Structure 1
């Protein structure tokens, strides 16, 4: 070939032939100003000592189109190791092999694990992150995506080219929020009955006020769904009742929802909240606030007549404050926790942690605190902690977000009242506390009709064992709900079946000596005609009340109604509506805790809308992904169905990754990789 040929005359395939022939007119030289490590595998092509816009792979001697403007992109996309296997295969160079899906050898796995552990240590140290960051759901998802990216495009690239800029992440928060909000709006279109939790919070660093609202409903599959609708800036002039109601109505309207008399709002028991939701809706007081306020008043108010336990409370709190302020905490086997009136059950946590390190305290206290320590009666402390544990356990049950809780309010209230009964060996100070809390719970813990209905809808609680005098009242309330549903459907009570009630008569005769204890002196009547009753027609409600089926105490009551929805179809609809109402508003309380972790002293400039978007994503992402799986996951699941039996390759319709053949240009491969990166 003539040496006078201009460099523009030759094309890529011409240079490839010259390279394959080791033509002396071709020389391979590395640029002098290279910075990327990828150049270790490539050299720039020179023809007749004139640099060309081509590079050559040092391994497979392949000529690739390149220019200084495109940088190292073509080098990253080039993978010559998988191309030498078969000349006729249409499998793309980035296609994963079967062995890549297999776990590595134990020796290799151990070394990889050690390197990851070391990298996590460096990550926590350099970025100042908590150790449990590496166990977070978001971090694990990020690591998974990076592993998938490495499997697809190899390791010959800089990770900085994949990781986005912080500004890009911030902008995409709004995009992800908009997508998830559209999904939630679509889901709310089918929601007829729901409950709402509402509360307000002030951010300490900026002084801004936020309003939190959560949505609760039971879907068609009898799953309890909880979504956070908003934790957004409350910018109204004040927190008067009408402004609070407007704030809630505006937020609900964004999702196509509206309050009415059949919708329940759960809130704390402040006067402004009571007034805001007194009309056109039904407000349910937070049971956790009732319990917490009772405990707070018992230990803090002078008129509570609990001076003995209040004195113990002050001594323990002062000692714990001293320990935490004097940095003596590290000398104890258990971290002691101090009391905080705005957090539920902290009075029990304080006494319990103090009791656990009781024998260790004399060695870490100074003279003054040791004198206070000697004033503590250990038996009183132990009895008090054991008694307060009942309140702690009840709060844990009522604050659950995985299962319905409204049906537990009445029995747990009665349980706490029963546990407040005086025992013979109780300390005198504990007797005073029990007397006060028993009266306070009876008078101030408000029970609504809906609580009785919810309790009756649990098969293990419908006997009203703890308070049998309220059973008939609960049955009448459930009948009203049943008839209300029948009227809305334009139907009469169904499933009427004439049944013999001899069994019921025998039970009534038996109970005649149980209702009033003085009747035990009389003989039971033997005359079969003593109780003259006519055969009755049993409705769906009657059949349920007579059903003796019981479920496991830890079983989700919604699972029971899902299994019996064909037997009790109308009661199942009532159960979906009633059991969706939470007993407490702790989901919003936890939302404010998450917002406190989001707005720190290093993130005080975070926009209020961004806070709302971040918390919306945090609380709703997992459940919305379950309901609306991302397309990329569906494509990944179907990827194994792609089978290549000859030189022709087949793909499923949903698979968007294009397969490359050998004669395709590298630029086309680059375009395909860009598309795949967008999917990642």
Structure 2
């Protein structure tokens, strides 16, 4: 296999370059990081697009060593643009970029593209703040206290025990392997907490240090269980939003609202969970921003178009859909009017009307010379948004195709329905 892998790569890469030549719309996912041990900086770029047959394609263009002169936003954008140019791809306002929400990314992709913040990153960062940060900088001049002392104390204790036990050969006596998490993806911390609580009563057999034993005895197991139970839905949401084999943008608004609802404080909540709920509810509402693209993706999902889970977003989503529809209709109408205008101009220059008769003013009667000039008016239907109304009111008796994650195949739905909505360019 290794003998031919380079040849296979070159063939596949050439085929991808050919595919990219005709792309009218696409999305690139961009990330950057530094390898801890070598100190080498990397930039990863992935490409996603839907073809004319409503099939989603995903490619990793590369994981490139970052060799730009600096880490400034300008140099980073130039680096990404150059890599995209190798595939005949160029960013503009009709192309999309998904990135994390760090200041460098915000500045790098502010112009000549439509940037969508990574929801996975939003959620990971807020969880990380909740368990590790005493304060957070909301903006340059504002600092907020996190106020999650109880949860952070438990988290520090668990992390210290996991770190030390993993270094001991006695860890092999545990029924499950303890795991630490990566700083770049905090969702792994939830796995660490969950495994720790499952082997909690086995740990005294492998802890030989008296100081560590004191830490172990100070952990409130019931509070730890409550924290893990509370974090379960967050883990599910992160996994859903990390999907790369099928569309997931439509999931953002409903899942975001689900997490907000789950942050309602209950009478039986421990202090740690109550603190986390207050903090996360506030941060999800204020830091996890909803964009036009989220609203359009949700309303175009036939199982979510009524926004029953998040009714406050429905009117805004319908307005955004009408604006997008107007824009598409305007483009289509302009093309038709331009075509008709060119045809009429050609006929006028040739001195003929559409029936082939001469239109010279010499043989026109006075009455016909008083007729209004023919104008190319693009007639609109009585209800400009009839297609939108039809879609929103269509009965839900369609035989949907379901994925293994219980979501429907929204692309196959629109592939079949495109004949019913001719003015929708999806």
- Alignment of 1:247 with 2:100, yes or no, is no
Instruction: Pick one of 273, 276, 295 that aligns with 2:105.
Output: 273
Structure 2 match to 1:556:
409
Output the CA distance in 2 between the equivalents of 1:219 and 1:470.
Answer: 29
Structure 1 match to 2:227:
384
Output the CA distance in 2 between the equivalents of 1:264 and 1:307.
Answer: 39
- Alignment of 1:320 with 2:157, yes or no, is no
> Secondary structure of 1:215's match?
strand
Deviation at 1:371, TM superposition (A): 2.1
Structure 1 match to 2:61:
229
Pairs aligned (count): 364
The runs of 5 or more residues in structure 2 that have no matched partner are: 135-144, 337-381
Output the CA distance in 2 between the equivalents of 1:428 and 1:232.
Answer: 45
Deviation at 1:232, TM superposition (A): 2.2
The runs of 5 or more residues in structure 1 that have no matched partner are: 1-141, 143-165, 494-534, 575-680
Deviation at 1:231, TM superposition (A): 2.0
Output the CA distance in 2 between the equivalents of 1:538 and 1:283.
Answer: 28
Deviation string, structure 1 residues 321-377 (Cα, Å, up to 9, x no partner) = 121011222101111112332124112111100111112112222233222222122
Output the CA distance in 1 between the equivalents of 2:66 and 2:215.
Answer: 46
Output the CA distance in 1 between the equivalents of 2:384 and 2:60.
Answer: 45
Contact 1:266 1:285 in 2 (8 A): yes
> Secondary structure of 1:192's match?
coil
Matches within 5 A, 1:125-140: none
Structure 2 match to 1:182:
14
Cα distance 1:340–1:235, how it changes in 2: closer, same or farther (>3 A)? Answer: closer
Output the CA distance in 1 between the equivalents of 2:118 and 2:261.
Answer: 21
Matches within 5 A, 1:185-204: 185-204=17-36
Structure 2 match to 1:264:
96
Worse-matched range after superposition: 288-297 or 372-381: 372-381
> Secondary structure of 1:565's match?
helix
Contact 2:322 2:385 in 1 (8 A): no
Contact 2:128 2:186 in 1 (8 A): no
Output the CA distance in 2 between the equivalents of 1:204 and 1:386.
Answer: 32
Deviation at 1:180, TM superposition (A): 1.8
Deviation string, structure 1 residues 368-389 (Cα, Å, up to 9, x no partner) = 3222222122221111101111
Matches within 5 A, 1:333-412: 333-366=175-208, 367-412=210-255
Output the CA distance in 2 between the equivalents of 1:236 and 1:248.
Answer: 10
- Alignment of 1:544 with 2:391, yes or no, is yes
Matches within 5 A, 1:513-524: none
- Alignment of 1:567 with 2:424, yes or no, is no
Cα distance 1:257–1:492, how it changes in 2: closer, same or farther (>3 A)? Answer: closer
Deviation at 1:548, TM superposition (A): 2.7
> Secondary structure of 2:45's match?
strand
Deviation at 1:433, TM superposition (A): 1.0
Output the CA distance in 2 between the equivalents of 1:411 and 1:378.
Answer: 32
Deviation string, structure 1 residues 624-648 (Cα, Å, up to 9, x no partner) = xxxxxxxxxxxxxxxxxxxxxxxxx
Output the CA distance in 2 between the equivalents of 1:316 and 1:267.
Answer: 31
Deviation at 1:539, TM superposition (A): 1.8
Greater Rg over alpha carbons, structure: 1
Output the CA distance in 1 between the equivalents of 2:35 and 2:154.
Answer: 33
Structure 2 match to 1:307:
149
Instruction: Pick one of 258, 271, 274 that aligns with 1:415.
Output: 258
Structure 1 match to 2:295:
452
Matches within 5 A, 1:605-616: none
Contact 2:162 2:179 in 1 (8 A): yes
> Secondary structure of 1:379's match?
helix
Output the CA distance in 2 between the equivalents of 1:548 and 1:564.
Answer: 13
CA-atom RMSD in angstroms: 2.0
> Secondary structure of 2:169's match?
coil
Instruction: Pick one of 295, 299, 309 that aligns with 2:127.
Output: 295
Deviation at 1:226, TM superposition (A): 0.5
Deviation at 1:173, TM superposition (A): 5.0
Q: Report which structure shows greater RCO (CA 8 Å, sep ≥6).
A: 1
Output the CA distance in 2 between the equivalents of 1:205 and 1:469.
Answer: 47
Matches within 5 A, 1:625-636: none
TM-score (normalised: structure 2) = 0.81
